[in-house]
Amino acid sequence: MSDEKSSAAIKKLRALTPARIGVGRAGTRPRTSTLIDFWADHAEAKDAVKSDLSPQFIDAFCREYQALSVHSSAANRDDFVLFPPRGKKLKTEDQELVRTGIEQDRDVAVIISDGLSARAVEENVPDLYPMLLDGFASAGVSSCRPVIVRFGRVAVGDQIGYLAGAKIALNLIGERPGLSCASGLSAYITYNPNPATTISSDRTVVSNIHEGGTPPVEAGAFIVKVIERILELKVSGVKLQAMS
C-alpha cells in the first residue's frame, strides 16, 4: 500500500474510534504530542475518580424530583476507593430513611450513584432521567422517588430496591473512567433485588452512556424498553439474554 493510501486509511480509522491508533513514534518512543495527550487524558481520568457530586447538583435534583439523598457506609471518597465493600451498602441510619422515605412496592426503584465518576452523573442524568419518567408514564410502569447515593457502588442499588420492595432496581452510576472517556454512565438493572443478589450475572447493563457513545436521551428510551421486557419475563442478567 502506498504511503498516501496508508495515511488515508489511518485517517479513516481514527475518525471511527477514540482509540490511540496511527499515532506514530519518534524512534523507539512516542511522539511528544502523543505523550502529552496521554498525560492529559490520564489526569482527567484520575480527576473523575476523585470527583464528588456537587452540592448544587444534589440540591437542584432533589428539589425538582423530590429525590432522597443518602450515603453508603464509606466515610469519604478515599474510603470508598480503598475499601470497595463499603460502597455496596447504605450506612445504617440511611437504611431506615430509605425504607420509610420512598414509596413501597413500585415497579422500579431508581438509584443514582456517583460511583467512580461523579462527573458522568452530572453530565448525563439531567437529560436521561426525564426521558425515563416520560417512558415509564407511557408504558404504565410505576416508580418511586429517586434516591441519590454518595460514595455508592453497583450493589447498593439492589439493597435500596429491596428496602423499597420494588420489582426492579435501576442504578444509574458513574463508571470507571478510561483514557478515552471520563464521563461514561451505566445503568445496572436487577429484577427482584434482594440480599442474595451478589453476582453480576443477575444484572442487565446498559453502558457507554455519554455524548460520545449512546446519548443520554437515546439511552433513556432504550432503558425503558429493556425494563418493559424484564417486567414481562420476570428475569434480568444472563437469564434475560437466554430468553431474548
Query: What's the pLDDT at 128?
Result: 98
Cell output for 171: 442504578
Query: What's the pLDDT at 35?
Result: 86
Counting the structural domains of the chain, the total is 1
Q: How confident is the model at residue 60 (pLDDT cuts 50, 70, 90)?
A: very high
- 96 found inside a domain: yes
- 58 found inside a domain: yes
What is the mean predicted confidence (pLDDT) over 225-241? 94
User: Given a cut of 90, is residue 112 above it in pLDDT?
Assistant: yes
Determine the Cα–Cα distance for residues 230 and 232; give it in Å rounded to an integer: 5
- 27 found inside a domain: no
- 9 found inside a domain: no
Of all residues in the chain, what percent carry a pLDDT higher than 90? 68
Strands (E), 100-145: 108-113
What is the mean predicted confidence (pLDDT) over 112-133? 96
- DSSP assignment of 180-222: S-S--EEEEEEES--TT--SGGGEEEEEEESTTSB-HHHHHHH
- 105 found inside a domain: yes
CATH number of the CATH domain containing 146: 3.40.50.11240
- 135 found inside a domain: yes
Which structural domain range is residue 58 located in?
A: 54-243
- 47 found inside a domain: no
Determine the Cα–Cα distance for residues 137 and 151; give it in Å rounded to an integer: 30
Determine the Cα–Cα distance for residues 112 and 185; give it in Å rounded to an integer: 10
User: Given a cut of 60, is residue 105 above it in pLDDT?
Assistant: yes
Q: How confident is the model at residue 3 (pLDDT cuts 50, 70, 90)?
A: low
User: Given a cut of 70, is residue 234 above it in pLDDT?
Assistant: yes
